[in-house]
């Protein structure tokens, strides 16, 4: 019989400040971002191609567990972790509600939980007013009793407070009887102990035949979490973080609450997340066509071939929502925040941009969302490619700085990716001085196209294309594809677009 194996996602100390009333947190703690940070953890793993078998939450999920809305904050976090469909185990921390309601909400009672050939022992330690905890004798004896009742079952201990090694601090991070806990784990054959609480975390360290790991706090930069891969009684711990410390991380393409196609996006949260995660400059870049038309008219793209639909909008007060958006965006402009528009073609190559809106932006990003004369499901591949090249040529003749998601049109229309057009498009961008966007919002940039752009001196513009807050400030996939294209952070100042 082969040995069991599992991959665990382990997250601790979110200190979420949601609906519950709060006291001020220290500035280095970002509990207000914790819910979306948790969502971003799952998105990061999806980009990495990793789907854990179990999510483990190690306590202090919320900041104020005594408020009447604390349970609602727990429900909000529960929704984020269960959305993935991955099983979850959770232990309460000293900031969470009393262990009973917390564990009931997460359907995770203290004791043994079996999954995938492993036994996970959940401990709901309680804390006094001085934040001290002492594990009682019954909980200590339970470890051996579980081992005796399940001989051969590999055991993993889950608790909030770190057990080993010692921490040099006046604050009582470890249980007062940590030595007894270590001895109980050793005698019962527990091979792995996972904890949180100590925000700096502690690297995995073996002691008395037990591997101890303290997971850092997700609520503090660089927003760390752990992947633990189990194979038999062996555990391999990988520490990951959401924040990136890299030069020239400029996001040229981030949407706002004004986008019809947005889901959870809003400008204020995008700014906060991008700053926290290491973005150096953020450009709020909204769809011009969605600002000019109501949702139904905008998303029909009938305006593209019918200029009679455009004139009345441009002549109307405020040009539908454009003037209002511009006033909103200009209030946000700062050394960190730039403002721009994502612009499309209409009427056989004209730029959908009213004369009043042609100036005053930090950036215009040209995009091909739909192509005039292309009929989905009817136009053959070769003709679609010719129409695409026609519109790229038209776009780069306009005063745009970046070509958005260059070849996404083909995937969106279930057409083959025309790799043979990579050199042609790279050449058009080089001749016009327009940057090529690297964008992972429903897109998958090709490293070969990136290499060709760099060879021709085309700048690469990084874009989150944020529609959901989980996308804001997320540039791990961009860095990964740059690496695949042979680029390292040392080259970023030379090859990446910046203002």
Residue 83: pLDDT band by 50, 70, 90 thresholds? very high
pLDDT of residue 489: 94
Could you tell me how far CA 368 lies from the centroid of its own chain? 26
The domain boundary, picked from 241, 276, 302, lies at: 241
Contact 125, 154 (CB under 8 A): no
Residue 222, classified by CB atoms within 10 Å of its CB into exposed (0-12), middle (13-18) or buried (19+), is middle
CATH number of the domain that residue 375 is part of: 3.20.20.140
pLDDT of residue 66: 87
The pLDDT tens digits for 206-246 are 999 999 999 999 999 999 999 999 999 999 999 999 999 88
Average pLDDT over residues 191-220: 97
Residue 1 pLDDT exceeds 70: no
The domain boundary, picked from 193, 212, 241, lies at: 241
CA 277 – CA 280 distance, rounded (Å): 9
Q: In which order are the strands placed within the sheet that holds 190-195?
A: 111-115, 118-122, 155-158, 190-195, 210-214, 202-207
pLDDT > 90 in the chain, percent: 92
Q: Are residues 224 and 351 in the same domain?
A: no
The pLDDT tens digits for 98-123 are 777 788 889 999 999 999 999 999 99
The pLDDT tens digits for 476-496 are 999 999 999 999 999 999 999
Q: Which domain holds residue 206?
A: 5-241
For the full predicted model, state whether its pTM sits above 0.85: yes
Q: Are residues 258 and 196 in the same domain?
A: no
Average pLDDT over residues 362-384: 97
CA 101 – CA 301 distance, rounded (Å): 51
Could you tell me how far CA 445 lies from the centroid of its own chain? 18
pLDDT of residue 302: 97
The domain boundary, picked from 190, 212, 241, lies at: 241
pLDDT of residue 232: 96
Could you tell me how far CA 325 lies from the centroid of its own chain? 26
pLDDT of residue 301: 97
Q: Are residues 448 and 382 in the same domain?
A: yes
Q: Are residues 227 and 266 in the same domain?
A: no
Q: Are residues 178 and 152 in the same domain?
A: yes
Q: Are residues 229 and 354 in the same domain?
A: no
The pLDDT tens digits for 245-276 are 888 899 999 999 999 999 999 999 999 999 99
Q: Are residues 277 and 360 in the same domain?
A: yes
pLDDT of residue 177: 96
Q: Are residues 226 and 257 in the same domain?
A: no
Q: Are residues 256 and 169 in the same domain?
A: no
Q: Are residues 153 and 286 in the same domain?
A: no
Q: Are residues 80 and 178 in the same domain?
A: yes
Q: Total domain count for the chain? A: 2
CATH number of the domain that residue 156 is part of: 3.60.21.10
Average pLDDT over residues 78-103: 89
* Tokens 């949407």 sit on residue: 255
Q: Are residues 32 and 166 in the same domain?
A: yes
Residue 383 backbone dihedrals phi, psi, to 5 degrees: -70, -40
């Amino acid at each position: 019989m082969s040995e069991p194996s599992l991959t665990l996602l382990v997250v601790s100390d979110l200190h979420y400040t949601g609906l519950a009333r709060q006291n001020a947190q220290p500035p280095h703690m970002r509990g207000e971002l914790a819910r979306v940070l948790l969502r971003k953890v799952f998105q990061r793993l999806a980009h990495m191609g990793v789907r854990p078998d179990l999510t483990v939450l190690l306590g202090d999920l919320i900041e104020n567990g005594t408020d009447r809305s604390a349970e609602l904050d727990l429900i909000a976090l529960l929704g984020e972790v269960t959305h993935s469909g991955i099983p979850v185990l959770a232990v309460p921390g000293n900031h969470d509600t009393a262990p009973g309601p917390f564990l009931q909400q997460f359907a995770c009672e203290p004791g043994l939980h079996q999954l995938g050939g492993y036994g996970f022992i959940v401990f709901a330690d309680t804390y006094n007013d001085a934040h001290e905890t002492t594990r009682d004798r019954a909980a200590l004896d339970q470890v051996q009793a579980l081992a005796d009742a399940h001989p051969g079952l590999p055991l993993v201990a889950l608790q909030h407070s770190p057990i080993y090694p010692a921490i040099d601090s006046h604050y009582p991070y470890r249980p007062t009887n940590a030595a007894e806990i270590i001895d109980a784990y050793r005698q019962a054959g527990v091979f792995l102990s996972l904890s949180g609480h100590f925000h700096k975390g502690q690297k995995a360290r073996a002691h008395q035949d037990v591997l101890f790991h303290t997971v850092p706090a997700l609520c503090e930069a660089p927003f760390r979490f752990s992947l633990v891969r189990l194979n038999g009684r062996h555990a391999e711990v990988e520490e990951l973080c959401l924040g990136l410390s890299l030069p020239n991380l400029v996001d040229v393409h981030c949407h706002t609450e004004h986008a019809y196609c947005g889901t959870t996006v809003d400008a204020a949260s995008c700014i906060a997340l991008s700053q926290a995660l290491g973005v150096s400059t953020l450009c709020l870049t909204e769809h011009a066509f969605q600002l000019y038309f109501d949702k139904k008219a905008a998303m029909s793209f009938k305006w593209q071939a019918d200029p009679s639909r455009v004139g009345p909008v441009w002549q109307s007060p405020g040009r539908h929502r454009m003037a209002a958006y511009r006033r909103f965006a200009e209030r946000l402009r700062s050394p960190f925040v730039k403002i721009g528009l994502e612009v499309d073609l209409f009427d056989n190559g004209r730029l959908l941009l009213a004369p009043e809106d042609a100036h005053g932006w930090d950036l215009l990003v040209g995009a091909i969302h739909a192509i005039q004369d292309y009929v989905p499901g009817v136009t053959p591949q070769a003709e679609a490619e010719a129409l695409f090249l026609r519109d790229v040529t038209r776009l780069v003749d306009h005063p745009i700085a970046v070509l958005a998601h260059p070849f996404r049109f083909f995937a969106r229309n279930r057409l083959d990716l025309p790799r043979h057009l990579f050199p042609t498009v790279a050449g058009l961008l080089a001749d016009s001085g327009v940057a090529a966007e690297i964008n992972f919002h429903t897109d998958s940039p090709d490293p070969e196209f990136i290499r060709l752009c760099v060879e021709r001196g085309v700048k690469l513009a990084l874009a989150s294309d944020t529609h959901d807050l989980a996308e804001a400030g997320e540039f791990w996939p961009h860095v990964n594809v740059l690496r695949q294209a042979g680029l390292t952070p040392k080259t970023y100042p030379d090859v990446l677009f910046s203002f």
